[in-house]
Amino acid sequence: MQLNSIWTSNKTPVIATLIITLLVFSTRNIGKKTPDSLGSIRDLKWSSINFLHTTDTHGWYGGHTNQKLYGADWGDFISFTENMRSIANSQNVDLLLVDTGDRHDGNGLTDATVPNGIEALPIFAKQDYDLVTIGNHELYLYENSKQEFDFIVQEYGNNYISSNVEYKNNDGDFEPFGKKYKYFTTPNQKARILSFAFLFDFTRNNEGTKVTPLEDVIKEKWFLETLKKHPGQDVDLIVVFGHIPIAHTWKELLVLHQVLREYYPETKIQYFGGHSHIRDFTIFDSNLTGLQSGRYCESVGWVSIDLSATGDLSPQKIFARSYIDFNLNSFLHHSGQSSIEEFETEAGNNVTRTINLVRNKLHLNDVLGHVNRNYYVDYVPLDHPQNLFKLLADQVLPTLQPTQALKNQSDERIFIINTGSIRYDLYKGPYTIDTRYIVSPFENEWARITLPKSIAIRIGPFLNKAGYILSQDKDNEIDNRRLLPLHQYSQRLKQEQQLRAKLEEEPEKKFQYPAFSPFFSQDAEFQNEASITRQKLSKGYVTHDDFGDDGDDTPHKPVINFPITNVVESKQLDIETGEHALVDVIYYKFIEGNILWALKHIGYDEKVESELYSTTYLNQLLEVFVQQNEI
């Protein structure tokens, strides 16, 4: 496909799209990895400089084996980027690839090995990124930080940037993961780019590493000198890519924005973010936008910037964004290929082969049990029978027994888990070794404290009342943000609500918008009528961002994310006993800081000492439960 036709893509006739789609479906091999939807795909807008962005991949390099919508694997992604680079080169524009961290924890490919990531990281590193940085999941365990420093940083050389995370070397000195910044010129357009990479203010890193908060880095000498060394007239674009949400509600990039604009009042700036696992695009000012590209190899983000645009323009005239579904339909469409044979590259195929070999070696498809229906993290409310937390709280957690004899065990127990420890839905079908890590990869041991019932019952509600953004208690270094999967606070949810309000105000627009949730009973009528016009669409992301709601490359029927709490409790209490009765409170040792923080704020002054309760991880408990019960 000629780039010309891509530039003018908005005018591409529907018929052409259909022909391409039909061709795509008729080619060999592709069916197993492509979604059933025949919906049309929105084209990308190319410009002088273009970016493909991934974040929070968490080891999903084998693709989503039971969700065709995200059925491409890392080998396909490599073929895709090779195709896209060819397009860019043939048109003398630039294409840069960016990743913003979190490569561990969430999939068997990364977590079924010791140390975790030993097989997955070499697969990840086959992608030829121009800019790579670190996430918090590279920092929980020292062994993961060491892999990052010894392997990923070496693999990417000058392309690995971290402006605020350091590693303790053999001499005991801290040195940056990669370079602190990069100033470079793009190959085709010769654009001069100054780039920094930041991790959010993460405090649970292992002792072999150091994170300096962004707010401190921007006052550091090296940072200010770098800005002075590269004044506005020498910089065509600033790229800040980091493991930080780009949402307006997140303070760190706003603080950075103020400093950058002091030094570069008019320079074009692009942020790439991550961590909160959502698709998002935000406008900071008319020359500065932020892109965030989802999670778990479900999305590849796209942003293009017209570096030649000058004058008082709206950001829509300078920047364009898209969220590409991680499947072969989308990849073929955007690379302008009509058959899998043309699309696949040797490097991509080799990676696909390696993934399959590793998956077999790790027995990821081995069946351990069977699940009869889907259980969702947040596609249904917390009290819905198909909510995964409800299943855990009502049925699974009560099966946990202490792994050692404990003194003064109480018959009354309260289990508290942070909802962020559950990473993905549990789908109907075989429960495999892969599922174990997909649902909850963490090796979190259980701790117990014994408290009077009147206190014990207040901990969970107190933690749930603690807000998300404003919940930091710096004195105690407790950050309740860590308890919850951040996408709960997504722009998407807020905008879904706005959209719902808008529909109520303007009923005539009803059918231009997709319905909200299949689980909202009050939407039933709306669902029935609207489904006539939407029957060809598959369920998936419908993103509402600062540019509107046309960013998803594939139009979908939306799913809604219901609010979930910071923690979920499972209570085994006796209504006959009084408030002084002693209750065992059992929680992951990982959240002990939060539990003690809650106790302090509740006003409980007694000294509490926790004991190890169990070394059975949640995923082991769930696995046995699935094997022994019909669920």
Pseudo-torsion of CA 364, 367, 371, 372, nearest 10°? 120
**Closest by CA position to 304, among listed 268, 278, 333:** 268
Identity at 144, one-letter amino acid code:
N
Q: Which does 39 bind (CB under 5 to 8 A by kind): ligand L45E5XJ5, Zn ion, none?
A: none
Task: Identify which of residues 126 and 277 has a Cβ nearer to ligand L45E5XJ5 in the complex.
Answer: 277
**Closest separation between CB of residue 485 and ligand L45E5XJ5, Å?**
6
Rounded to 5 degrees, what are φ and ψ at 563? -65, 140
Q: Applying CB under 5 A, which of residues 43, 73, 102, 584 lies at the interface with Zn ion? A: 102
Binding of residue 137 to ligand L45E5XJ5 (CB under 6 A)? yes
**Closest separation between CB of residue 416 and ligand L45E5XJ5, Å?**
12
Q: Which does 267 bind (CB under 5 to 8 A by kind): ligand L45E5XJ5, Zn ion, none?
A: none
Handedness of CA 531, 534, 535, 538 (dihedral sign): negative
For residue 46, give the DSSP letter: P
**Closest separation between CB of residue 250 and ligand L45E5XJ5, Å?**
13
Task: Identify which of residues 483 and 560 has a Cβ nearer to ligand L45E5XJ5 in the complex.
Answer: 483
How many residues bind to Zn ion according to rule CB under 5 A?
A: 5
Q: Applying CB under 6 A, which of residues 103, 179, 180, 275 lies at the interface with ligand L45E5XJ5? A: 275
Helix 453-465 crosses helix 592-602 at what angle (to 10 degrees)?
110
Binding of residue 479 to Zn ion (CB under 5 A)? no
Dist CA 611 CA 430 (whole Å): 36
Q: Which does 435 bind (CB under 5 to 8 A by kind): Zn ion, ligand L45E5XJ5, none?
A: none
Structure tokens, 447: 């701790």
**Closest by CA position to 573, among listed 349, 398, 405, 406:** 398
Structure tokens, 530: 């609207």
Task: Identify which of residues 105 and 166 has a Cβ nearer to ligand L45E5XJ5 in the complex.
Answer: 105
Binding of residue 230 to Zn ion (CB under 5 A)? no
How many residues bind to ligand L45E5XJ5 according to rule CB under 6 A?
A: 18
Are the C-beta atoms of residues 585 and 451 closer than 8 Å to each other?
yes
**Closest separation between CB of residue 116 and Zn ion, Å?**
14
Q: Applying CB under 6 A, which of residues 485, 514, 540, 555 lies at the interface with ligand L45E5XJ5? A: 485
Q: In the range 419-458, which residues lie near ligand L45E5XJ5 by CB under 6 A?
A: 420-421, 442, 444
Q: In the range 407-426, which residues lie near Zn ion by CB under 5 A?
A: none
Vertex 61 angle, CA 59 and 63, to 5°: 115
Binding of residue 482 to ligand L45E5XJ5 (CB under 6 A)? yes
Q: Applying CB under 6 A, which of residues 136, 270, 491, 554 lies at the interface with ligand L45E5XJ5? A: 136
Residue 628 CB contacts under 8 Å (≥ 6 apart), including other chains: none
Dist CA 606 CA 458 (whole Å): 15
Q: Which does 485 bind (CB under 5 to 8 A by kind): Zn ion, ligand L45E5XJ5, none?
A: ligand L45E5XJ5
> Which string of b and e fits 215-236 if b means at least 16 CB within 10 Å?
eebbeeeebeebbeebeeeebb
Count the neighbouring beta carbons within 10 Å of the beta carbon of residue 288: 23
Task: Map residue 332 onto helix, strand or coil.
Answer: helix
Task: Identify which of residues 176 and 441 has a Cβ nearer to Zn ion in the complex.
Answer: 441
Are the C-beta atoms of residues 93 and 366 closer than 8 Å to each other?
no
**Closest by CA position to 290, among listed 93, 96, 42, 53:** 53
Q: In the range 36-75, which residues lie near ligand L45E5XJ5 by CB under 6 A?
A: 56
**Closest separation between CB of residue 198 and ligand L45E5XJ5, Å?**
15
Q: In the range 114-173, which residues lie near Zn ion by CB under 5 A?
A: 135-136
The stretch near ligand L45E5XJ5 (CB under 6 A) out of 17-25, 413-421, 495-503, 613-621 is 413-421
Rounded to 5 degrees, what are φ and ψ at 239? -115, 120
**Closest separation between CB of residue 584 and ligand L45E5XJ5, Å?**
21
> Which residues are near Zn ion by CB under 5 A?
56, 102, 135-136, 275
> Which residues are near ligand L45E5XJ5 by CB under 6 A?
56, 102, 136-137, 140, 275, 277, 418, 420-421, 442, 444, 482-486, 590
